[in-house]
Chain A
């Protein structure tokens, strides 16, 4: 951190990076293509740069380009052809449960493109919480970040992955991530992007391959003028009694949000729900595209989508309690963005709340 300017340190703090690590059990820090820190204090959890992990464990090859195919698109191909893969591998060994989150920080400073390949493996009955903070230097005018993340949630394991973005208006971002959840596993994904960015294009997918597996995606985004966010999440209910929920809250203050969602129910006793809500504060675009696809009688899928403005009578109700119009509006927006995700450690929920609170003053 001492290599970074105070402005950049502040930008990283907004993504949840804790320098002092009071609330973190491990930390990975990559600036451009250089890994500057990998440290982990939790027993039974390994954090390694991906190159070291591939050298250390032969079986890593089974997980490398498995959930995400290397030839999926031009971005994955770009990452796959790199001679020196860079990124983080986290392995939670069987039965190891750590409530304290570990952080992965990816910082784009000097290079034109940052590429990252992460693999998170939670073995049987383990539990890990990962917070990924991605940011660019305040001086960085243009650039791209391509991040591949493969997540494997073993039997009865639980993984939460919280990603907070803080880019600049000239940065384009292409996360490519996929998760495989085995029997009784729980995967919770949270995404927060409240700051300007050029483009973010992503469509992470979870495949639920074991009975009773659960995946929940939630995203909270703001599109400022000039920002184009094409986001979505997809869940494949590929085993009996699996369930999923895809929740998104999008606000535009002049930018564009495409909010996609797709659930495929292809096994008995499966359930899925998509909830997309959009708030247009200033003229911009919110395009919700929820898709639900069932292929047999035993699947129950639903969706609700709404796009609109803040209801005048809600503002007036709060004004009738003494809030000014601006405060009433901010209070309603804050409520709109308040998606509480069950099972998230308090410190992570606080991090998400902080990111929202800091951005909120800009509305």
Chain B
């Protein structure tokens, strides 16, 4: 589904990512871990196509099409979605209005989806204006539920979410990734950035990757990597790669 080859990305003239190679097949969920500032969010934003993330080498291919240089919204139309870690507050723009503008769903269907994530009261509110951390995350999940992307990138879905909301988030993200569908028939794929690994309590990941200083240093079983990092920190990943 997603095929990133030899990708180099610069921000403000500084190389932030180098030699990134990542393949995510149909129906697969991958987890991306790594210390703060290692470039995890940068990778997601580069895949999404945000300005300021200049691709200096390499390519991003999605569903067989080279998307390295196409505009953001065209990537979305091809089936890419993203949950933002820090979505902007936009005054005057109602969440409900945005959902109607960006989908083919009727108001009733949107209302029903909003109820499923306890957001029905927020449809008439300005998007993210005065939302708590958990509310922002639920708003992001709702937008993705409306959008139904084939490939979804989640930037730290656990951050700022209390335990009660974490259950809901875990369940909903599992739903977005069709974890209820048999592996053979599963079409949706995902890439999840996580620091804590809590999300793994709610869904299985097919692969884990560790990013350090703008490079993916290690691939493997997500839980295994998480266990090692918890016990010995990311320094172990660095040492492991060097030997």
A residues with CB within 8 A of B: 311-314, 316-325, 327-328, 331-332, 334-339
- A325, B92: Cβ atoms under 8 Å? no
- A316, B72: Cβ atoms under 8 Å? yes
Minimum CB–CB distance for A350 against chain B, Å: 15
User: Which residues of the partner chain B approach A337 to less than 8 Å between Cβ atoms?
Assistant: 92
Report how far A308 CA is from B71 CA in the complex, Å: 25
Which residues of B in the span 99-115 have a Cβ within 8 Å of any Cβ on A? 101-102
- A323, B101: Cβ atoms under 8 Å? yes
Number of interface residues of B (CB under 8 A): 24
- B92, A321: Cβ atoms under 8 Å? no
- B126, A320: Cβ atoms under 8 Å? no
- Segment among B61-69, B81-89, B166-174, B227-235 that sits at the interface with chain A: B81-89
Which of A311, A316, A331 lies at the interface centre, i.e. has the most chain B CB atoms within 10 A of its CB?
A316
Minimum CB–CB distance for B26 against chain A, Å: 21
Minimum CB–CB distance for A311 against chain B, Å: 7
Main secondary structure of the interface of A (DSSP, over half): helix
5 nearest CB pairs, A to B? A335-B92, A338-B92, A335-B93, A319-B72, A322-B76
- A332, B72: Cβ atoms under 8 Å? no
- B90, A320: Cβ atoms under 8 Å? no
User: Which residues of the partner chain A approach B50 to less than 8 Å between Cβ atoms?
Assistant: 316, 320
- A325, B73: Cβ atoms under 8 Å? yes
- A335, B147: Cβ atoms under 8 Å? no
Known: A312-B52, A319-B72. 6 other contacts (CB 8 A): A316-B72, A319-B73, A320-B50, A335-B93, A335-B126, A336-B91
- A321, B143: Cβ atoms under 8 Å? yes
Smallest CB gap from A313: residue in B: B88
Report how far A335 CA is from B102 CA in the complex, Å: 16
- A331, B147: Cβ atoms under 8 Å? no
User: Which residues of the partner chain A approach B147 to less than 8 Å between Cβ atoms?
Assistant: 321-322
- B90, A335: Cβ atoms under 8 Å? yes
Minimum CB–CB distance for B39 against chain A, Å: 18
User: Which residues of the partner chain B approach A323 to less than 8 Å between Cβ atoms?
Assistant: 73, 101-102
